[in-house]
Structure 1
Amino acid sequence: MAPLLAVCAGYFMVILDVTVINVAVPVIGRDLATSLTGIQWITDGYTLVFAGFLLTGGALGDRLGNRRVFCWGVAVFTVASAGCALAPDAPFLVGARLLEGFGAALIVPGSLALLQQAYPGPAERSRAFGLWGSMAGIAASAGPLLGGLLVTTVGWRWVFLINLPVGAACLLLSLRHVARSPRHAARPLDRPAQLAIVAAVALLTGALNEAGRRGWTDPAVLAGVGLAAAAAAAFVVRERLARSPVLPLPLLRSRAMGGGALIGLLFNFGFYGMVFTASLEFQHQRGFSALGTGLALFPAVAMTMFASVVSGRLSRRTGDRPLVIAGMLLAALGLAGWAAAGADPAYPLLVAPMMAAGFGTSFALTGSTATVMGAAPPSYSGAASALFNTARQIGSATGVALGGSLLVTAAHYAAGLRTSMAVGALAYLTAAVLAWFCVPARPRES
């Protein structure tokens, strides 16, 4: 149990910091007298570095040992959180947030690899992956609630200070109870490939973030997408030529790994697009406070708390494919129900769609995680984890960017919201079809 607590505590911190900042930045901007650009960098800088360096973190874990790199990440993240809390001005805070993002990129790939190492049996590994997956939904959805509570009671600096005891406990548990990981020190770190993928993910994430503000046809957005595609092409070419690639191309071409990563991208697109647009709906159209918005989103959070755990327990009997398909279909039904609920539905009518989306996403997460991790040999477990989580981060950024763009460009706010929910439902349906072809049908053997 101790290894599971250690890994989940680290992962919880990372995902919480993606969303908890959203309700705090207006107060931070006033307190530190920063510009709108400064506020944007406080929010987006963390996400850019986090997404861009995930594959680097995975490669370092495979080469130097996943426990070592995980602990380095927790230490960096905790120190950077203290720097954020003590920041005297906006530039210092932005720098500390960038360092936080780098620590997060070291934590996340190792988290899945350490769980696979600590729980080798299929049944216990599925349960561990289930709890790990539930942490993402809980942290992401609880962020606005916790952030609103902290900002309105003890101040915005506590949004970062809460990471200190969690980080210290995570580091202590990891050093005491998580076994040392195998190292592959002879494997060189392919720096050109790492630079190419950092550039590709950072440029794409940045362009998607700007698309929500500037519009999809803005020259800066189009240039960012084009440069990201060029960097991704350079990564593929380098991987073909490298004697020791970051992730061998035959693995990427496998249905299980490539398809599982794409499923992760699609369900993050649907879920985080729903959370983002619902947050705007509750605050801007219904007049909810930051704390009230967090409470309004709680039905989605409540479902993520146990859906992944239930899925992990069932997968030994049923296999992953039916669970992933069922989760995606349920989530699609939820968002389609919201889209069909009318222009201004009463809040009680939205509870069931949010519960369906939260439950379905978390229910499918365990099986898709196991599919990707099972497709990679142990020596590439960190890189496989990094690929899966990079795809999910891109899905989240795309869902938020497209949701914001639809709200801004639609003739009426309600029409943009319903279109966003319909697009999210389509993404879930696409993921269900992919799962039929890519996720193994039979239960995993011992």
Structure 2
Amino acid sequence: MSSTDFPAPSLAVPDGSDAPSRQGGAAPRERPKLRLPPLVALSLGHFLVMLDVTVVNVAVPGIQGSLHVGASGLQWIVDGYSTLFAGLLLLGGGLGDRFGHRRLYLLGLAVFTLASTGCALAPSAVWLIGCRLAQGAGAAFLVPTSSALLRASYPDRDRLARAVGIWGLVSAVAFGAGPVIGGLLVSGLDWRWVFWVNLPVAALACVLTLRHVRVPERSRETGRMDPVGALLGVIGLVAVAGALNEAGPAGWTSGRVLAAFAVGAAALTGFVLVQRRLERALVARPDGRRPLLPPSLLRDRRVATTNAVGLLLSLGYYGMLFVATLYFQRERGFSALETGLALLPSVCMGFLAAPLSSRAAARTGPYVPMAGALLLGAAGFLGWLAAGPHTPYPVLLFALMTTGLATPLTVVAATVAVMEAAPAGHAGVASASFNVARQAGHAIGVALFGTLVGGAGRVPGLHASALIAAGCFLLGFLLVGLTVRGAGSRSER
């Protein structure tokens, strides 16, 4: 398989879609209705994954007092989830492509539910850390399979774009509401309820999936799994994610950070070599072992561009979100609640951005709203250059609101783009590669910007971080422009 095996980019609405008819001045067709039960079922799983990224943060003091956890243990309780989540994403996507996305989605719900129960009942820190790692494994099955099932449930562009918009909105709400929900549960009940709350949501998602999400047709490709590549990929991604999580508190030159980076680099190099060898061998033996992540998939410019945008986007936005939290709390003296309220305009822009991006993607294709949003975000980050020790809060609203709007606009458009670009047989692993890029960007941004703030000071570090974030979004804009230009030149030949 080569990069030419993938269809050319479709920047206009494809034939057979629900685009308005323009022939003979005919009235546009009625907009097709969106079946909600499958969307709710798949959005609930994504809700759980994103909620548990942030909901635990406010429970840390209660966990520390109840289980007598040290600083290192607390870090693994918070970051161990995202570390294993990032490490198993490719495997989760590949298993979904191989054994069925609906089956793996239900398995992910089961693992996540059991792990949440274990967290809620945890008698010790070690038990809680182990169950948090198991939650991350369940999440790695849920995210790539839910996006692949969205593509199968809503095959035309209009419905798919609208469905992804709502799916992305639910994700943004869960991420932003995590600290609020966690605070209410911890204040009114106990820290264990931040895990108990997952059970009814998972149960509802399971029932709706069994009743309303159809089993999509699986790839007819034969061949066996790639256990060596899967193992190398997991080791490499877990090691790199762990190193990035440790780089902030331990320092980039820490022995364990450098060792983890070395292990990760070696494992990922081996992973790439194995994938290339297996793909070349398929030419002679079509029934041989299949690569977990076919290199030809990443040679498709649309997939490569979307992954690069995912990394740059998360590096800039989540890195700046971390630095903005430090700025409000340590430079301005805001409490945790005041900081949450100060960041609320940024988080709440997802309510506007997700439906706006889905409508634009349905009409123009995903690349136009993606490029516009990245340019808007780059301008928004420059607004942080006005921040100082005594800057009035309204002055910062431009930066908060524009970056909060641009990020979910880009995420929804990029998700639609990767779904359209990936062949049906690799929908899960293509989605997984995009989410791996986003997780890597998130970890790099937090570690890098945290280092800048620690070395240069809070306000100078904030300004330097804002410039880097603006540069990341601008680079993403240029990559999208080159992709659209390349697609246009190929279509003219």
Query: Which sits farther off after the overlay, 71-80 or 112-121?
Result: 71-80
Please report how far the alpha carbon of residue 184 of structure 1 lies from its aligned counterpart in structure 2 after TM superposition: 4.5
Which one of the candidate residues 145, 148, 163 is aligned to 1:110? 145
Q: 2:56 aligns with which of 4, 17, 21?
A: 21
Q: Does 1:45 align with 2:80?
A: yes
Note closer, same or farther for the CA distance 1:152–1:352 as it changes in structure 2 (3 Å cut). farther
Identity in percent: 47
Deviations along 1:319-350, one digit per CA (max 9) or x if unpaired, are 22221111111111111101233344222222
Residue pair 1:138, 1:304 contacting (<8 A) in 2 also:
yes
Residue 458 of structure 2 corresponds to which residue in structure 1?
413
**Contact 1:141/1:297 (<8 A) preserved:** no
My pick for the range that moved more, 289-298 or 18-27, is 289-298
Counterpart amino acid of 1:73? G
User: Residue 219 of structure 1 aligns with which residue?
Assistant: 255
State the alpha-carbon separation in 1 of the partners of residues 321 and 186 from structure 2: 20
TM-score, with structure 1 as normaliser? 0.95
Match of 2:388 in 1: 342
SS in 1 for 2:58: coil
Q: 1:247 aligns with which of 293, 304, 327?
A: 293
- Spell out, residue by residue over 1:36-66, the C-alpha distance to the aligned partner (whole angstroms, 9 max, x if none): 1111110111111110000111111111110
Residue 439 of structure 1: how far off its partner (Å): 5.0
The Cα shift of 1:208 comes to 0.9
Aligned partner letter, 1:227:
V
Q: How far apart are residue 403 of structure 1 and its match?
A: 2.0
Structure 1, unaligned stretches of length 5 or more? none
Output the amino acid matched with 1:339.
Answer: L
Kept in 2, the 8 Å contact 1:260–1:368? The answer is yes
TM-score, normalising length: structure 2: 0.86
Give the Cα–Cα distance (whole angstroms) in 2 for the partners of residues 321 and 282 of structure 1: 35
Q: Deviations over 1:358-382 (max 9, x none)?
A: 1101111122112222221101111
> What is the identity, as a one-letter code, of the residue corresponding to 2:64?
G
> Structure 2 matches for 1:262-301, cutoff 5 A?
262-301=308-347
Unpaired stretches in structure 2, ≥5 consecutive residues:
1-35, 283-289, 489-493
Instruction: State the distance in 2 between where 1:21 and 1:407 align.
Output: 24
Give the aligned residue type for 2:45: G
SS at match of 2:241: helix
Question: Aligned equivalents of 2:389 and 2:264: distance in 1?
Answer: 37
Among 311, 323, 336, the alignment partner of 2:369 is 323
Matched residue SS, 1:23: helix
- Which is worse superposed, 250-259 or 177-186? 177-186
Counterparts of residues 81-160 of structure 1 (less than 5 Å): 81-160=116-195
CA shift for structure 1 position 113: 0.2
In the alignment, the residues of structure 2 paired with residue 15 and residue 123 of structure 1 have an alpha-carbon distance, to the nearest angstrom, of 25
Contact 1:144–1:291, Cα closer than 8 Å, also in 2: no
Aligned residue number for residue 473 of structure 2: 428
Tell me whether 1:203 sits opposite 2:239 in the alignment.
yes
Opposite residue 50 of structure 1, the aligned amino acid is: F
CA–CA separation in structure 1 for the residues paired with 2:176 and 2:381: 16
Residue 34, structure 1, aligned to residue 80, structure 2: no
- Give me the whole-angstrom Cα distance separating, in 1, the residues matched to 2:399 and 2:452: 20
Report what 1:179 is aligned to: 214
* Residues 393, 401 of structure 1: alpha-carbon distance in 2 compared, 3 angstrom cutoff: same
Structure 1 residues 324-403: aligned runs within 5 Å: 324-403=370-449
Does the 8 A contact of 2:308 with 2:437 survive in 1?
Answer: yes
Indicate if the aligned counterparts of 2:232 and 2:270 stay in contact, CA closer than 8 A: yes
**Is 1:232 aligned to residue 268 of structure 2?**
yes
Q: Report the 3-state secondary structure (helix = DSSP H, G, I; strand = E; otherwise coil) of the residue aligned with 2:446.
A: helix
**Among 430, 438, 441, the residue aligned to 2:483:** 438
Aligned-pair CA distance for 1:34: 1.1
> Secondary structure at 2:252's aligned position in 1?
coil
| 1:58-97 map, 5 Å | 58-97=93-132
The answer to whether the 8 A contact 1:149-1:291 is kept is no
Measure the CA separation in 2 of the matches of 1:417 and 1:386.
31
Moved over 4 A (4+): 439-442
Q: 1:70-126 CA deviation, whole Å, 9 max, x = no partner?
A: 011011101211111111111111111011011000100101100000001110101
Question: Secondary structure in 1 aligned to 2:291?
Answer: coil
Distance 1:376 1:176, change over 3 A: same
Question: What letter corresponds to residue 329 of structure 1 in structure 2?
Answer: L
Instruction: Provide, for residues 141-178 of structure 1, a one-character-per-residue CA deviation record: whole Å limited to 9, x for no partner.
Output: 22223222322232211111111111111111111100
* Partner AA of 1:42 in structure 2: I
CA contact (8 A) 2:378 2:470 kept: yes
Q: CA deviation at 1:199?
A: 1.3
